[in-house]
Chain A
Amino acid sequence: MSDQFLTLPLTLLSPDPHQPRRELENDSASVTEAHTLQGLANSIREVGILQPIRVRAVDSVNGETRYTIVSGQRRYEAARMVGLKDVPCLVIDEPSDASHTLVSQVTENLQRKAMTASELALAVQSLVQSGATQEAVAHKLGIQASQVSLLLNLLVLSGPVKVAFERGRIESPRAAYDLNKLPPQLQEQLIGEAEHKGRIVTQRDVREVKQLYTHKLSQVRHRYEVPAVSKDEYSAFTACLVDGVQDQYDPTEDRFAVFGEDWPQWESRQTGVMWEAGRVSGGGVDGATSGASGQPGLHDANTVDALRVRVPGFTLTRDQVLRLYQRLGASSDSLPETAAALGKDLARVLSQI
């Protein structure tokens, strides 16, 4: 009798109580850190069981032959999780010798070579380039979507980090990715130190160096430098400034006092807009200013003020409109309430000059 392929009901299979693999759930050495039983189940749901489960016939109950799993217990458990009724099996014809079975079970796991992270990353890239979304690829491979983006990030590794990662000198893809974002000099230093000590670069090493680097960077930054904010954060920030309270305040002097004489240069460096003396305070009606109007960011905050009126080319507060009416000799007794009506009325007054 020789080995034969059969599709067998799951109910006829039973795990080998002497199975050397005790931990079914996780494979800590996995490059994706996602070789969980659930991941395998997801993969089986998507593409089925690609490799048949090796089983051996043990006994017969009521005319039904029962089988013990020789190798493929994770596939068996995952198939149960998915709810499969039948699974492809390779029924082997070998003696029921405990030591022989154990050797074959250990060898089966020992000789398997996992794909390297780089190989996996290239495969993932091909799938994504073929038009599949990252979520779909993750679903098909039975890994998390975040792992897919992490693998794709590995493709941007360069220089010493790429070499060290491919040589297995960096603990994880995350550590390699974070290290890649640091300056090349620091990368080489960290990798060199780890090699000198005969150890690999860990996520913790990278985090510590990154913190130190960030701290040092913060010490040399000019106080006028600001972090980048997203559009959402910026619009939420400008919205929270609207509180119905009006200021007649010119911040120019205070900016010089707080940030020093060179803040206008930093302003230009960050925005590309040349600051000119008088911009912040200049042009006010009766000396009144519109706050930090010299700051491009703040202009938007001002324009959302409920009391402000927008007319072509100008932005005026209600108080400024009142003073303008007085100066022009126009009646300000029955000023319209809404901003739009006030804008029209102002345009009418201006046209009569």
Chain B
Amino acid sequence: MSKVSPPVVDATKSLVQTRVPQAMRVYLKAYGKHHGLKMEGLLAEVLLHFMTLRPDMRGLSWRTPQSHRTEAGAVGGWAQINVLIADDVAGKLAGLSMQLGISRATIAYTALYWFARYMRPPLNPSVTSTGIPSAGVTVTTGASHV
């Protein structure tokens, strides 16, 4: 009888799963690559900041991820994210999830949404590096918001 090697498991990491719109995943991956981070590292960092700062207690609403088969609501549909993150971060996530009665996938997606929309969103390519908008494109800096 041949010996079967057990799968290599990193016991110091736990699986975190969620779904995000494909366009958001593309941006987050590009942001991570720009800073030498894989999705694992980026998600762990974002989750840590999110759970420390708790923006949900200051007006940020929870967002429920849709099925990765969902086409509606986002260009390109929703993408599944399965990443292994450090146990301590995953433990905090599980604790928060139980405390609030919200799924881990919802917390992870809200954290990524928070980061991609409010913390560091992509720059509008219509705004040049000199800050002069391209011809014909009106760009508001937000000062006109009431």
Contacts of A219 in B (CB 8 A): 36
Flag whether B9 is at the interface (Cβ < 8 A): no
Flag whether B95 is at the interface (Cβ < 8 A): no
Contacts of A296 in B (CB 8 A): 123-124, 127, 139-142
Q: Could you tell me the distance between the alpha carbons of A237 and B123 in the complex, rounded to whole angstroms? A: 11
B residues 130-146 touching A (CB-CB < 8 Å): 130-132, 139-146
User: Which residue from chain B places its CB closest to the CB of A314 in the assembled complex?
Assistant: B146
Q: Could you tell me the distance between the alpha carbons of A300 and B125 in the complex, rounded to whole angstroms? A: 12
Stretch of B10-18, B68-76, B82-90, B97-105 lying at the A interface: B68-76
Please tell me the number of chain A residues within 8 Å of chain B, measured between CB atoms.
62
Stretch of A76-84, A142-150, A227-235 lying at the B interface: A227-235
B117 and A245 contact, CB distance less than 8 A: no
Q: Give a binary string over A280-295; 1 marks a CB under 8 Å from any B CB, 0 the rest.
A: 1001110001111111
User: Which residue from chain A places its CB closest to the CB of B144 in the assembled complex?
Assistant: A313
Q: Could you tell me the distance between the alpha carbons of A298 and B141 in the complex, rounded to whole angstroms? A: 9
Asked, given contacts A233-B23, A296-B142, whether A272 binds B132 with beta carbons under 8 Å apart, the answer is yes
Q: Could you tell me the distance between the alpha carbons of A246 and B75 in the complex, rounded to whole angstroms? A: 20
B residues 55-78 touching A (CB-CB < 8 Å): 55, 58-61, 63, 73-76
Q: Give a binary string over B18-49; 1 marks a CB under 8 Å from any A CB, 0 the rest.
A: 00011110110011011111000000000001
Flag whether A248 is at the interface (Cβ < 8 A): yes
Q: Give a binary string over A296-330; 1 marks a CB under 8 Å from any B CB, 0 the rest.
A: 11111110000000000111100010000000000
B145 and A246 contact, CB distance less than 8 A: no
Interface size class of chain B, counting residues whose CB lies under 8 Å from the partner chain = 35 or more
B125 and A272 contact, CB distance less than 8 A: no
Flag whether B121 is at the interface (Cβ < 8 A): yes
B123 and A229 contact, CB distance less than 8 A: yes
A292 and B123 contact, CB distance less than 8 A: no
Residue from A233, A239, A295, A314 with most neighbouring chain B CB atoms (10 Å): A295
How many A-B residue pairs lie within 8 Å, measured between CB atoms?
Answer: 180
Flag whether A225 is at the interface (Cβ < 8 A): yes
From A227, A270, A285, B33 is in contact (CB under 8 Å) with A227
Q: Could you tell me the distance between the alpha carbons of A248 and B59 in the complex, rounded to whole angstroms? A: 4
A residues 196-239 touching B (CB-CB < 8 Å): 214-215, 218-219, 221, 223-231, 233-234, 236-237, 239
Flag whether A163 is at the interface (Cβ < 8 A): no
Q: Could you tell me the distance between the alpha carbons of A159 and B74 in the complex, rounded to whole angstroms? A: 46
Contacts of B128 in A (CB 8 A): 272
A297 and B123 contact, CB distance less than 8 A: yes
B146 and A247 contact, CB distance less than 8 A: no
Stretch of A8-16, A123-131, A251-259 lying at the B interface: A251-259
B126 and A231 contact, CB distance less than 8 A: yes
A207 CB, min distance to chain B CBs, angstroms: 15
Contacts of A214 in B (CB 8 A): 36
Contacts of B37 in A (CB 8 A): 218
Contacts of A245 in B (CB 8 A): 61, 63
Flag whether A243 is at the interface (Cβ < 8 A): yes
A271 and B34 contact, CB distance less than 8 A: no
From A257, A272, A298, B117 is in contact (CB under 8 Å) with A298
Contacts of A273 in B (CB 8 A): 127, 131, 141
Asked, given contacts A272-B131, A273-B131, A291-B118, whether A233 binds B26 with beta carbons under 8 Å apart, the answer is yes
A72 CB, min distance to chain B CBs, angstroms: 50
Flag whether A249 is at the interface (Cβ < 8 A): yes
Q: Could you tell me the distance between the alpha carbons of A218 and B35 in the complex, rounded to whole angstroms? A: 4
Query: Residues on B close to A: CB < 8 A?
Result: 21-24, 26-27, 30-31, 33-37, 49, 52-53, 55, 58-61, 63, 73-76, 113, 116-132, 139-146
Considering the complex of A and B, which 9 residue pairs feature the smallest CB-CB distances, nearest first?
Answer: A272-B131, A218-B36, A240-B21, A249-B59, A293-B142, A236-B23, A248-B59, A251-B118, A240-B74
Ordered by A's residue number, 14 sampled pairs between the chains whose C-beta atoms are within 8 Å are A233-B26, A234-B122, A237-B27, A237-B121, A237-B122, A240-B23, A240-B24, A247-B59, A250-B59, A251-B118, A258-B53, A272-B132, A279-B143, A283-B145
